[in-house]
Amino acid sequence: MSVLSPFIASRDKSVMKKTRTKKSRQTPTISGKRALIPVRALDFVMYNTKDIRKTRAFYQKLFGFKRGEEWTDWWSEFHTAPLTFCLNGTAHERHPEWDWSGAACVALAVDDVPAAIAKCRKRAFPPRPLAPNGKIMQRTLVKDALNATAPLDAILLQGWVRTRRDAKAFSFIELNDGSCLKGLQIIVDAALPDYAQVARVNTGASIEVSGKLVESKGGGQKWEVVAEKFTVLGEADATYPLQKKGHTMEFLREIAHLRPRSNLFGAVFRVRSRLAYAIHQFFQEKGFYYVHTPIVTASDAEGAGDMFRVTTLDLANPPKTEQGDIDHAKDFFGKKTFLTVSGQLEAEIFACALSNVYTFGPTFRAENSHTSRHASEFWMIEPEVAFCDLNGDMELAEEFVKYLIRDIRAHCAGDLEFFAKFVDKELLPRLDFVLDKPFVRCSYTEAVEILIKSGKTWEHPVAWGDNLQSEHERYLTEEHFKCPVTVYNYPRAIKAFYMRQTDGCAEGRETVAAMDLLVPGIGEIIGGSQREERLDKLRAGMALHHLEEKNYWWYLDLRRYGTVPHAGFGLGFERMLMFVTGVANIRDVIPFARTPGTAEF
């Protein structure tokens, strides 16, 4: 077969009309010696281009064919080779088997029409199954199929095989498409013409099945699908790492590209998605505005851990000043820059304009932490509220945490049951307990007294003025109160410069309006404070922490012009997710975790 000449659909109104019919979108059609060959969205460029020479130039550039080469040459290559190319900066892979459905059309004049059509048919995915009424079937998600209220004569499912069990006259296939935890059982009768394909199906293969949704004859599930058409889309051989047997979390972490297909991680990431949604919903319902704070920042001393440097300087040969130091003025931003550890200072700016705001985005800590609850890259939610004091802040934090738990309880019930069964038996009672009870509020000073009176021997001794250690926080929330605890009013010296000094403190017992929300099992999940709104006190705080005012001129301006009391907090998104799912390691609630020494995927 050879293609004689290109024919752009838009140049011929009659052809253009045909391209818009549904039928022509599915299969090539013939009109005299002209074949209508459906192509995918990319080719819409051709379809819409008025000037054929521009189109040629576009494809010349795209495929690198030279002027004078026959159109035929590159066109045929276009249709035979899987191509990778770049359009509008996006890399696409041209799969050799295209799904023609929904495609635009380009008309070609060919000398051997049947051969051209045969070629196209071969390249396209098998045609979408037709329902009894002749319409193309739409895919049904497993989640929706399982919720069916009546049998269905025609259903189309696509997904991945979890397990196959062969019987004498048919096979059972458990299909999962990630839409929910549960899979759907597929029955493939050995008499079916497609049955030969079942032998190619192992755990992990991707398949497409159409057939009838019927009530299951066996126990264990309400619905099952009796296949009428069965297609293997992608095989998975014996090297597929996910087996039917349970895997350790550590092993699954090493195959982060496949672990979302496991029950546990599918559930974790569905809940993660819902939790993110619930966070926005909570704040939006309360009239908070969402602020995007910068990820690259020049503020390097917020007292929240070590920061990652951001630079375009040649590290092997950096520009130097006359004194021999690295000349940061020559760097991309003209100064030293870092990845942010918090959006709080910027959020304060917006709170002092829009009143109620929140941020929700990634933050970065270059701490060399090797624990189950620290990551180098994590997401944080930071509400900031104008005209709000510490009490209002604590109330908001409590309401927020309870709202999120209630939302996940209501919308992720199936996934939570799975966690309760396999991850943390106490999960559901604990979540309900948290919902029922008001959080305990306890001042730092009271907490220190409780710890001293406990009679426990501490690895780290308790003394007023020292930070509460992990063991102390755990004792308070897990043993003493057995409930989430908000500890507030911490010693001034151990907290950040921007926290509001408490009025009327005794000499040597100065505190600031800080609060930490501690929850059983995880420890600190929220840290927040009322911000110092008085210019003179803020400057004193900066002096105490040895910070240079010139680096915070804009922050100080907020106190110079129309200052207001305001407060906010930071909630670690992943820590909340750990609390809600019972998953013990932060690396297992992040799709692709970044921790010291690990940035795979």
- Position 235 contacts RNA (CB under 7 A): no
What distance in Å separates the CA atoms of residue 495 and residue 101, rounded to the nearest whole number? Answer: 60
What distance in Å separates the CA atoms of residue 320 and residue 331, rounded to the nearest whole number? Answer: 11
CB of 246 or CB of 429, closer to RNA: 246
The Cβ of residue 440 has, within 10 Å, a number of other Cβ atoms equal to 16
CA nearest neighbour of 399 among 517, 291, 521: 517
Selected binder of RNA within 73, 112, 235, 524 (CB under 7 A): 524
What distance in Å separates the CA atoms of residue 249 and residue 388, rounded to the nearest whole number? Answer: 43
Residue pair 501/512 in contact by the 8 Å Cβ criterion: yes
Per-residue mark of binding to RNA, 20-59 (x: CB under 7 A): ----------------------------------------
| Single-letter code of the amino acid located at 350 | F
Selected binder of RNA within 102, 114, 126, 246 (CB under 7 A): 246
Residue pair 417/436 in contact by the 8 Å Cβ criterion: no
Selected binder of RNA within 337, 342, 477, 486 (CB under 7 A): 342
- Position 402 contacts RNA (CB under 7 A): no
What distance in Å separates the CA atoms of residue 371 and residue 379, rounded to the nearest whole number? Answer: 17
- Position 347 contacts RNA (CB under 7 A): no
Per-residue mark of binding to RNA, 541-570 (x: CB under 7 A): -----------------------------x
Question: Least separation, in Å, of the C-beta of 596 and RNA?
Answer: 7
CB of 171 or CB of 501, closer to RNA: 171
Q: Which of residues 477-496 bind RNA (CB under 7 A)?
A: none
CB of 103 or CB of 427, closer to RNA: 427
| Single-letter code of the amino acid located at 356 | N
Per-residue mark of binding to RNA, 90-129 (x: CB under 7 A): ----------------------------------------
What distance in Å separates the CA atoms of residue 152 and residue 302, rounded to the nearest whole number? Answer: 60
In a 10 Å sphere around its CB, with 0-12 CB exposed, 13-18 middle and 19+ buried, how is residue 429 labelled?
exposed
Selected binder of RNA within 3, 187, 192, 390 (CB under 7 A): 187
Q: Which of residues 253-272 bind RNA (CB under 7 A)?
A: 253
Selected binder of RNA within 49, 197, 202, 231 (CB under 7 A): 202
Selected binder of RNA within 25, 373, 430, 492 (CB under 7 A): 373
- Position 371 contacts RNA (CB under 7 A): yes
Name the E strands within 266-318.
289-290, 296-297, 309-310
- Position 420 contacts RNA (CB under 7 A): no
Of the ranges 9-17, 73-81, 465-473, 485-493, which one interacts with RNA (CB under 7 A)?
A: 465-473
In a 10 Å sphere around its CB, with 0-12 CB exposed, 13-18 middle and 19+ buried, how is residue 263 labelled?
middle
Question: Least separation, in Å, of the C-beta of 468 and RNA?
Answer: 8
Q: Which of residues 139-178 bind RNA (CB under 7 A)?
A: 163, 165-169, 172, 174
Radius of gyration of the chain, Cα coordinates, nearest whole angstrom: 31
CB of 383 or CB of 523, closer to RNA: 523
What distance in Å separates the CA atoms of residue 118 and residue 120, rounded to the nearest whole number? Answer: 5
Of the ranges 26-34, 82-90, 249-257, 309-317, which one interacts with RNA (CB under 7 A)?
A: 249-257
- Pairing mode of beta strands 152-166, 170-176: antiparallel
Selected binder of RNA within 32, 82, 193, 218 (CB under 7 A): 218
Secondary structure, 3-state, 392-429: HHHHHHHHHHHHHHHHHHHHCHHHHHHHHHHCCCCHHH
